[in-house]
Chain A
Amino acid sequence: MQKDPVDVLIIGAGASGAAVAFSLAETRMKIVCLEQGDWTNPAQYPSTGRDWEARHFGDFNINPNKRRARADYPINVTDSPISVANFNGVGGGTVLYAGHFPRFHPSDFRVKSLDGVAEDWPIDYDFLEPYYNQNDRMMGVSGLSGDPAYPPKQSSMPPLPLGKSGQTLARGFNKLGWHWWPSDSAIASQEYDGRPGCVNLGACTSGCAEGAKASTDITYWPAAIRAGVELRTGCRVREITVDKKGRATGVIYYDEAGTEQVLKAHVVVLACNGVGTPRLLLNSRSESFPDGLANTSGLVGRNLMFHPYASIQGIFDEEQDGYRGPGNCIWSQEFYETDASRGFVRGYTYEIVRGRGPVATAIAGMLSGRVAWGADHHAQIRSMFNRVTGMVAICEDLPEEHNTVTLDPILKDADGIPAPKINYTLSENSRKMLSHAVSRATELLITAGARDVMTEAPIGAGGWHLMGTARMGTDPEKSVVNEWGRSHDVRNLFIVDGSIFVTSAGVNPTRTIQALALYVADSMKKRLDNLFD
């Protein structure tokens, strides 16, 4: 085990923590990562058992308040229509993520200049592109170049199969003349970098037992550990400590046995995600920082963005892919860029959801009244089973200061550390966008041949994208970290996770989170001699 003090201490071993650890490893500095969770064992992932769908409601629940593992901390979501979804362990959210892997678009970095809302990012698409490419090589991206919704970009592997569902919906998009394209996906469509190709288990959001999905426990972490990074699991950080000059000195954490430990460090890097990071900063109060560390702007925990989601699923007479194959398939960005005639600014992506298993079909059918209780149950379930396909809409969420992560005055985790509380309301813009997304998708599904359509908006359980709560910018009054991820207030404190997003775009965030983490690491490496100036 590394002796104190270490050169770089990373907190959180998820999507961004893994990327920053890997990138910094080449400096040969002493790097330690503290992660509150443990390694997962793919041999025990739900798809290895007959109860694979049931475990979505149990130990592989995406909601930490329901999963309640030792590594999880409770999150008060009583004042939010959307609850937080995450995973706490090596790989972080990527253990459970679907592996949808879109990039931001050039316009996503310039929303103020283009649409007069929110703030522009201090960096742009062209600037981030080399880091996207570097991350793509490490994670492996299946897709097809030539998507007219994006500037040219390459994929590492061919796209995932269209399948029955993809073809049904593609025909619908074509009839309406709408954009669609094979999704960029962090799922290997063939063997990649020692990982096997996807075998269509269809249970990606409860861990990929095959190892085809690029979660960072099997991509970045093995490489970072080989390069000398020490990863300590079961270590939950309570607070970041500071000296009289306001520099971070290290952390106080609880180890696996629940014993309080101190670890000193020259540099602290936060990678705890858009909820965990503001929680830790707000828990790190001191004389120098009475309102929480790095918070002289008052913006730590503010501007929380989730991406309001809508689910729109059609029931078809013909058989679709059902429980077979990864959810990822094709996407549409027909309504992505701003069009003032729609009554809202910015836009959304449709991501096709291939199908669902028998348990999920039965639950949706019975709870929506489409599948009866009693003798008719059997015929009705058979008219839905393997016949449901559709999409989710990912709406761009604009930053609003009143959407917050604060500390709950009562709720605490198993180590007695104050838990986060979410206050979030859907904006009028989001409501209009959701409603547009539901009605256009319904039109598409009917055009594609659906005989019935099921909708949910917003998806209450869908707070899986956590962004904006310690945003980046050049102005210390309007941002928490500078344009290369360093805290304006604390010159040896960096943030690399989704908290530093300025705006959310209308796409899943992880490819951008990791590109940013690599960029911040690169900025640190380039400035090693004068990092704290």
Chain B
Amino acid sequence: MTELISTDNATNGILSKDLLAGLRVVVGLMIPESHEYQVPGADDEKIFNDIAGSIGDEAEILKRGLDNLEELAQEAFNCRLVNAASEDLPGLMATFKSADREFIKALTSLVASCYYRDDRVMKSLGMERRPPFPNGFEVEQGDWSLLDPVRARGKLYRDVTASEKNDT
């Protein structure tokens, strides 16, 4: 694994280097590399640096979750997450996924936000590698004759009779 470029700054020091290393293991489990779709995993250096650099208000929630995961790894395998055997990790994560929903939500938003804006991933999804503005996108007009049966059905709104009126 390559070294991370900038981590402490991004999380204001809330996540230690060790916890970030654990986070990298976890995100790689969530979205691994795929040769079939020609996409990197979320633990790819560029993507993970984006992830680490994008941790903001959720740093405390992530720290809590990662601390707990490290504890579980110690109990189960007597080692840190980074050193656990890769075949053991999915089982550990499955137990943990249902335990701390807030952590899983924060982690999912963070990882998805960074992974799905990577050039290689967007290309694999068939997207142009650019922001929406200024070029925008094409949306077809569609077949307006679909409205014909609705027109044929006639008035739907409820009348308000004079006695129910009460103007100023």
Contacts and interface: CB of A to CB of B under 8 A. Distances in A.
Chains A and B bind each other: yes
B29 interface: yes
B54 A358 contact: no
Contacts of B133: 45, 47-48, 201, 209-210
A179 interface: yes
Which 6 pairs across A and B sit closest by C-beta, in order of nearness?
A: A162-B142, A199-B136, A54-B113, A324-B137, A362-B112, A325-B139
A358 B158 contact: no
Nearest to B151: A146
A337 interface: yes
Given A110-B164, A123-B168, A164-B140, A180 B150 contact: yes
B84 interface: no
Interface in A107-125: 107, 109-110, 113-114, 120, 122-125
A385 interface: yes
Nearest to B106: A57
B104 interface: yes
A378 B37 contact: yes
Given A202-B137, A378-B34, A106 B108 contact: no
A202 B128 CA distance: 14
A114 B156 contact: no
Given A123-B167, A161-B139, A337-B158, A377 B113 contact: no
B3 interface: no
B101 to A, nearest CB: 9
Interface in B135-168: 135-144, 146-147, 149-151, 153-160, 164-168
A434 B34 CA distance: 41
A114 B160 contact: yes
Does more than half of chain B's interface fall in helix, strand or loop, or is it mixed?
A: loop
Given A123-B168, A146-B151, A378-B36, A363 B109 contact: yes
B132 A203 contact: yes
A105 B140 contact: no
Contacts of B29: 373-374
B10 interface: no
19 contacts: A54-B113, A107-B160, A113-B160, A120-B166, A148-B150, A162-B141, A173-B150, A181-B150, A198-B136, A199-B137, A200-B136, A201-B133, A325-B137, A337-B158, A363-B109, A375-B34, A377-B31, A483-B168, A484-B168
Contacts, number: 196
Contacts of A402: none
Interface in A90-111: 105-107, 109-110
A47 B117 contact: no
A166 interface: yes
Interface in B90-118: 90, 93, 97, 104-105, 108-109, 112-117
Nearest to B115: A362
Contacts of B112: 358-359, 362-363, 366
Interface in A190-211: 198-203, 209-210
Does more than half of chain A's interface fall in helix, strand or loop, or is it mixed?
A: loop
B141 A110 contact: no
**Which residue among B54, B57, B112, B134 has the maximum number of chain A CB atoms within 10 Å of its CB?**
B112
A359 B109 CA distance: 8
Interface residues of B, number: 61
A461 to B, nearest CB: 12
B168 A359 contact: no
B160 A109 contact: yes
Interface string A356-374: 0111001100110000011
Nearest to A377: B31
Nearest to B94: A373
Interface of A: 45, 47-54, 57-58, 66, 105-107, 109-110, 113-114, 120, 122-127, 144, 146, 148-151, 161-164, 166-167, 170-171, 173-174, 177, 179-182, 198-203, 209-210, 321, 323-325, 333, 336-338, 357-359, 362-363, 366-367, 373-375, 377-378, 382, 385, 483-484
B117 A148 contact: no
B108 A363 contact: yes
A109 B113 CA distance: 44
Contact of B157 (A52, A151, A203, A323): A151
A338 B156 CA distance: 12
A177 B149 contact: yes
Nearest to B38: A378
Interface in B118-135: 121-122, 125, 127, 130-135
A125 B157 CA distance: 12
A200 B133 CA distance: 9
B20 interface: no
Nearest to B130: A50
Nearest to A115: B158
B166 A52 contact: no
A520 to B, nearest CB: 12
Given A146-B151, A148-B157, 15 more contacts: A110-B164, A120-B166, A148-B154, A149-B157, A161-B139, A162-B141, A162-B146, A170-B142, A202-B137, A324-B138, A336-B156, A358-B127, A362-B108, A362-B116, A382-B37
Contacts of A53: 113, 116-117
B143 A359 contact: no
Interface in B27-42: 29-32, 34, 36-37, 39
Contacts of A209: 133-134
Nearest to A369: B97
